[in-house]
Structures are given as C-alpha cells and as structure tokens.
Copies of this chain bind each other. A is one copy, B any other.
Amino acid sequence: MAITLVIHGGAGNIHPGMMTKEQEVEYHNGLKLALDKGYDVLNNGGAAVDAVVAAIVELENNPIFNAGRGSVFTKKGLNEMDAAIMNGIDLSAGAVAGVRNIRNPIRLAKEVMLHSGHVFLSGAGAGEFALTRGIEMAPDDYFFNKGRYDQWVKIRDSDFTQLDHEEDNLKGPEPDPEYKFGTVGAAACDAHGNLAAGTSTGGMTNKRFGRIGDSPVIGAGTYANNNTCGISCTGHGEFFLRAVVAHDVSCLMEYKGLNLQQACATVVKDKLVKMKGEGGLIAVDAQGNYDFCFNSAGMYRAVRNNEGLERIAFYGE
C-alpha cells in the first residue's frame, strides 16, 4: 500500500529573493523535521491521524511558523490559536477556536475528537476542557517572540490586521507585498488506506472580535474522508469559509468523478480565484496520490511517500 504524508507551513507572496539563504535553510529544516516525524509514524504502521498530529506538533513547536509557539498577537496582545483534525475512517472530528496557553492546539483538537462528546469547542471553555484532560499548558512567555511582538506593536493602534507573521500585511497602512497566510497543516494516507487531515494556526496579527478563520472549521479549512481525500488549507480564511473549500474538493471527487488534482485545481485555481480568495491547500487520496495547489505566489510545503519521493518547496513552479 502507498503511504504518503504532505505538510504545509502557510501560503502567500512567497517568492525567490524574499528570504536570505539562512532563512531558506531554517524553513527547509523546519519542514524536513515535521515531515520526518510524521512519516516515521506512517512508516512504523501507525495511523494517518497520528502522523498528522506528529507532523503538526513539530510545526507548532517551531517559532518560525504562525501556529502554537510562533502564534502572532491579537489586538489585545494575546496569542489565540485555532486547530482542527479529522479522521477519514469514520468522519470523526475535533476542533478548537480561540484557545490560549495550550502548548499544542492540535493535540487538544484530537482530544476533543476522542473524548469531549463534541466536535467544536471555543475560548475559555475549550481551555477548561483541556485542563480536565491534562493537556499540556504553557505560560505566555513560551509564546513570546520578539519578532512577532514588534510586528504587533507596529500596528496595534490601528484597525489593520495582518494575515501572517513578519512581513505580511494585506490591509495595513503601508501594504507589504511580502504577506503570507500563516497556518500549518498536514494530510496523510496510511498503510491501511485511511486518510486524515489537520490544521493549526495563530490567526491574524492584531485580529479583533474573536475572529475565527477557516482552519478550525470542518469542511472549510480541514476535511478528511476515506472515500475521497484529506485536505488542509491555508489562505485568506474568510473566502475559504464562504467557499467551504476542503469539502468542495471532496464533493467534486465523490459526485463529479474528478481525480484529486482536478478537484483541487477546480476549487483553488478557478472558484477561489473568481472570488479573489488567495491561498492554497495540500491534499492526499486513499491511493496515496497527493497534490499541492495554490493560487498565491508560493506555499511552504513538503511531501514524502514510500516510493522514495521526498520534496520540500517554497516557491511557485
């Protein structure tokens, strides 16, 4: 059986020349570590859902990605994170929105899936659930990052939001063309042909109003179904929510008979482009096929399978 893992670390205006060689190495190594951690699970006969968690935990622990430890600051100077996971075997799913001080939000999402009796928990309530389940917490210091903080300080007195860390700025006083949509995700096909997908994000810098994007919304930013595909999205979440992106890819396969690549292209390169919804997604199907699909300049992405394929890329082809 084919085993395949795909991961992403966000999409956006990521193009040659925007990073120093050192930064490129840092992103490469960050993706490589997460890819290997997740792939090891699959290679040892583990479940797709566990490979997805293992890969995302590494991305959450790496401060260069906007998720977990590297989460950006909200309008109030807090780190509020969202995450979701879905198991394609039985369509079970778990998601959290607006959680604070959770070291690995993807682990909390899995706990919601397995032990809450619910699918979607939010805010302080989700934090309470985390305490009842012994989920690992971390102090504010753990999430503090000078770069992210300075980025927030620059815009905190404005109503502008940034869609990612460092250079992003879709709606700022001086729009920065080097924006990225900061999110991480993984999708896997295991040796039993089971699919899973997960997504984790720190949201938008200076976000207000308890904004929830597509990442934790089952069907929008995250979806897995053994009959079709496993999908994790990254992009301008409002458009991904309205287009129900991940589930739309699945339905194009199930009801219209498109293959994985055709379905991804239809949604990302046609429908989303018409809506002006920028971003991308990673996808696997139960035959171990994979796809990277984005309408932005680039996407931090990586794939590894049991046919010897291993590829890490940032920029458009």
A218-260 vs B, Cβ < 8 Å mask (1 yes, 0 no) = 1110010000000000000110011110011001100110000
Specify which of A117, A125, A129 lies most central, judged by the most chain B CB atoms within 10 Å of its CB: A125
CB interface residues, A 70-90, toward B, < 8 Å = 86
> In the complex the two chains form, is A208's CB within 8 Å of B91's CB?
no
- Shortest Cβ distance from A213 into B: residue: B120
- Contact yes or no, B247 A217, CB < 8 A: no
Q: Which of B128, B211, B217, B251 contacts A209 (CB 8 A)?
A: B128
| A124 at the B interface (CB under 8 A) | yes
The prevalent SS among residues of A at the interface is mixed
Determine whether the beta carbon of B208 is less than 8 Å from that of A241. no
Q: Does A196 contact B (CB under 8 A)?
A: no
A241 and B218 form a contact (CB under 8 A)? yes
Q: In the complex, which residues of chain B have a beta carbon less than 8 angstroms from the beta carbon of A211?
A: 118, 120-122, 125
Question: Is A299 at the interface (CB under 8 A from chain B)?
Answer: no
Q: Give Cα distance in the complex from A275 to B252, angstroms.
A: 22
Q: Which of A14-22, A92-100, A139-147, A288-296 forms part of the interface with chain B? A: A92-100
The reply on A119 being an interface residue by CB < 8 A is: yes
**Which B residue sits closest to A74, measured CB to CB?**
B125
The reply on A210 being an interface residue by CB < 8 A is: yes
Bound-state CA distance A116–B212 (Å) is 12
Q: Is A316 engaged at the interface, CB distance under 8 Å to the other chain?
A: no
Provide the bound-state CA to CA distance between A208 and B116, in Å.
10
Whether B248 and A209, one on each chain, are in contact in the complex, defined by CB atoms closer than 8 angstroms, is: no
CB < 8 Å neighbour of A212 from B122, B128, B244: B122
A125–B255 CB distance below 8 A: no
Asked whether A126 is an interface residue with its Cβ less than 8 Å from the other chain, the reply is yes
A46 at the interface (CB under 8 A from B): no
Closest residue on chain B to residue A93 by CB atoms? B242
Q: For A242, give its contact among B92, B171, B220, B242 (CB under 8 Å).
A: B92
A209 pairs with B116, CB closer than 8 A: yes
| List of B residues within 8 angstroms of A86 by Cβ | 242
Chain B residues, Cβ within 8 Å of A121: 209-212
A242, B91: Cβ atoms closer than 8 Å: yes
Smallest CB gap from A220: residue in B: B219
Partner of A210, one of B92, B126, B252: B126
Contact assessment for A218 and B244 in the assembled complex, using a CB-CB cutoff below 8 Å: yes
Kindly list chain B residues whose C-beta atoms are within 8 Å of the C-beta of A242.
Answer: 86, 91-93, 119, 218
- Identify the A interface with B (CB < 8 A): 86, 91-93, 97-98, 116-126, 128-129, 171, 208-213, 217-220, 223, 237-238, 241-244, 247-248, 251-252, 255-256, 275
13 A-B interface contacts by CB (under 8 A): A92-B242, A93-B241, A98-B122, A116-B209, A119-B242, A122-B122, A123-B210, A125-B209, A126-B209, A126-B210, A128-B208, A219-B241, A219-B244
